[in-house]
Chain A
Amino acid sequence: MAQVKLSAVRKAYGAVVAVHGVDLVIDDGELVVFLGPSGCGKSTTLRMIAGLETITSGTLHIGDRDVTTLEPKDRNIAMVFQNYALYPHKTIRENLAFGLRMHKMDRAEIDKRVSEASSVLGLDELLDRKPRQLSGGQMQRVALGRALVREPEVFLLDEPLSNLDAKLRVKMREEIARLQKQVGTSMVYVTHDQVEAMTLADRIVIMKDGHVQQVGAPLEVYDRPANLFVAGFIGSPEMNLVEGRVVQGRFEADEFSIDLPKGMAAEENSAISLGIRPEHIEIDETAGDIAFTADIIEQLGAQTLCAGSAQGVGLRVMTTRRDDVHRGSGFSLRFPANRLHFFNTETGNRISTEH
Chain B
Amino acid sequence: MSSKATFASFLIIGLLITLVLIAAPVVYAISLSFYTMDSFVADPDWIGLANYTRVLSTSAFWNALGNGLVYSISTIALQVIIGIGIALVLNQTFRGRNLVRGLSILPYLLPTVVIVLTFKWMVDGSIGILTRAIAALGLPPIHWFESPQAAMASSVMVSVWLWTPFVTTAFLAGLQTVPASLYEAAKVDGTNAIQRFYHITLPMLKPVLTVVVLLRAVWTFNKFDVIWLLTGGGPVGSTEHLAILSYTTAFTKFDIGGGATIATLSFLFLAISVFIYFRIFPLDEEES
| Chain A residues within CB distance 8 Å of chain B | 50-52, 71-73, 77-79, 81-83, 85-89, 98-99, 102-103, 130, 133, 146, 150
Contact = CB atoms under 8 A, between A and B. Distances in A.
B195 interface: yes
Q: For chain B, which range describes its interface: under 10, 10 to 19, 20 to 34, or 35 or more residues?
A: 10 to 19
B185 A102 contact: no
A118 B186 CA distance: 20
A83 B181 CA distance: 8
A87 B188 contact: no
B184 A85 contact: yes
A81 B190 CA distance: 16
B287 interface: yes
Q: Report which residue of A71, A77, A81, A103 has the largest number of chain B beta carbons within 10 angstroms of its beta carbon.
A: A81
Given A83-B179, A89-B204, A130-B287, A52 B184 contact: yes
Contacts of B200: 87
B187 A73 contact: yes
A50 B186 CA distance: 12
Given A81-B184, A81-B185, A130-B287, A89 B191 contact: no
Given A72-B187, A79-B185, A85-B181, 9 more contacts: A50-B184, A52-B187, A52-B188, A72-B188, A79-B184, A79-B188, A85-B179, A87-B200, A146-B185
Contacts of B188: 50-52, 72-73, 77-79, 99
A71 B192 CA distance: 10
Contacts of A82: 181
Given A83-B179, A85-B179, A130-B287, A98 B184 contact: no
The 5 closest A-B pairs by CB, nearest first: A99-B189, A73-B190, A85-B181, A102-B190, A85-B185
A89 B203 contact: yes
A81 B181 contact: yes
Interface string B186-211: 11111100010001100110100000
B182 interface: yes
Contacts of A52: 184, 187-188
Interface of B: 179, 181-182, 184-191, 195, 199-200, 203-204, 206, 287
A53 to B, nearest CB: 10
Contacts of B187: 51-52, 71-73
Contacts of A150: 189
Nearest to B191: A102
B120 to A, nearest CB: 45
A64 to B, nearest CB: 21
A96 to B, nearest CB: 11
A89 B189 contact: no
20 contacts: A50-B184, A52-B187, A52-B188, A72-B187, A73-B188, A73-B190, A81-B184, A81-B185, A85-B182, A85-B185, A86-B185, A87-B185, A87-B186, A87-B199, A87-B200, A88-B204, A89-B203, A98-B189, A102-B190, A146-B185
Contacts of B186: 87, 98
A184 B195 CA distance: 32
B202 to A, nearest CB: 9
A103 B184 contact: no
Contacts of B179: 83, 85
A83 B287 CA distance: 23
Contacts of A73: 187-191
Contacts of A87: 182, 185-186, 199-200, 203
A330 B204 CA distance: 64
**Which of A51, A86, A89 counts the most chain B CB atoms within 10 A?**
A89
B187 to A, nearest CB: 5
B283 to A, nearest CB: 15
A51 B195 CA distance: 18
A51 to B, nearest CB: 8
B209 to A, nearest CB: 13
B190 A103 contact: yes
Contacts of A72: 184, 187-188
A52 B287 CA distance: 34
A77 to B, nearest CB: 7
B184 A102 contact: no
Contacts of A102: 189-191, 195
Nearest to B178: A88
Contacts of B206: 89
A102 B188 CA distance: 10
A99 B185 CA distance: 9
Nearest to A129: B287
A323 to B, nearest CB: 49
Contacts of A71: 187
Q: Which of B199, B200, B204, B287 has the most CB of A within 10 A?
A: B199
Q: B182, B185, B204: which has the most chain A beta carbons within 10 Å?
A: B185
Nearest to A103: B190
A275 to B, nearest CB: 39
Nearest to B192: A73
- Which of A50, A77, A85, A133 gathers the greatest number of chain B CB atoms within 10 Å? A85
B189 to A, nearest CB: 4
A149 to B, nearest CB: 10
Most buried by B among A50, A72, A86, A133: A72
B192 to A, nearest CB: 8
